[in-house]
Amino acid sequence: MSGSPLIRLADITKTYGSGQAAFQALKGIDLSIETGDFIAIMGHSGSGKSTAMNILGCLDTPTSGSYQFMGVPVEQLSRNQRALLRRNYLGFIFQGFNLLSRTTALENVELPLIYRGQPVAARHAAARAALQQVGLQEWEEHTPAELSGGQQQRVAIARAIVTRPAVLLADEPTGNLDTRTSEEIMELITAFNREHGITVLMVTHEPDMAAYAKRVVSFVDGRVESDLGNGEAA
């Protein structure tokens, strides 16, 4: 429907366990995300930010509430349908890179395309183009052990964007990197948001990294404490 947000969370709760052992990680989250947004999600450990990201990434389901993605009620989808949504619309970047250690950079980037069933020639071409976009065109045949931390994260970004996702979900993408390399990675992610219109959702505990975002959403005790434009957050 025209004018609707790309993503809308309405009164999302998440409870783990039951009875006296029950823990409510999310206590009624409301959040609207427009196409082209770049949102930094912040909060202390246990605030609920990672639980929210797992729900946004269709890696977990809410206990109650509504999650709409492009107008589709995600909480009503089957496990297989959620997997298709992930495969076709979402890209993931993790703090620990999550690369396959015995495969080359090119093969790591190709992985999402293999899951999509793309033919060999097409996925080779797409993976090479993605590696070129992150400045690693000369490192295609190197394994992760032969790459620096920053280069490994660039491979992970190439793998995330090779499918041209609508949304890029980044979980502490600079957590294992030094300051200079962190800035390079954030410039790269910002460029994909600005130049290609990819919506970015990033969990971070670092204010310097959150400063790259357009909005900063802060979680406290399972609730959204604030949702501010970056000028307001500053």
pLDDT in tens, 128-154: 999 999 999 999 999 999 999 999 999
> How high is the pLDDT of residue 1?
42
At 165-188, the pLDDT tens digits run 999 999 999 988 899 999 999 999
Torsion of CA 212, 214, 220, 222, to 10 degrees: -120
At 33-68, the pLDDT tens digits run 999 999 999 999 899 999 999 999 999 999 999 999
Better pLDDT: 233 or 77: 77
Q: Which two tokens stand for residue 195?
A: 């130049």
CA distance readout (Å), 87 to 45, 155, 221: 28, 18, 31
- Per the CB < 8 A criterion, the answer to whether 116 and 163 are in contact is yes
> How high is the pLDDT of residue 233?
47
pLDDT class of 3 with cuts at 50, 70, 90: low
Which residues, listed in sequence order, are joined to residue 28 by a DSSP beta bridge?
none
What's the mean pLDDT when you consider all of the chain? 92
pLDDT class of 230 with cuts at 50, 70, 90: confident
> How high is the pLDDT of residue 232?
56
Pinpoint the alpha helices (H) of 135-229: 149-161, 179-196, 207-210
Q: Which two tokens stand for residue 228?
A: 């501010």
> How high is the pLDDT of residue 95?
82
Please indicate, yes or no, whether the overall pTM of this predicted structure exceeds 0.95. Answer: no
Q: Which two tokens stand for residue 110?
A: 């190709």
Average pLDDT over residues 184-208: 93
Residue showing tokens 């071409």: 125
Domains of the chain, start order: 7-98+165-233 (3.40.50.300)
Pinpoint the alpha helices (H) of the chain: 49-56, 79-89, 105-115, 120-133, 149-161, 179-196, 207-210, 230-233
Helices and strands (DSSP H and E) totals, the chain: 8, 10
Average pLDDT over residues 62-87: 94
Q: What's the one-letter identity of residue 213?
A: A
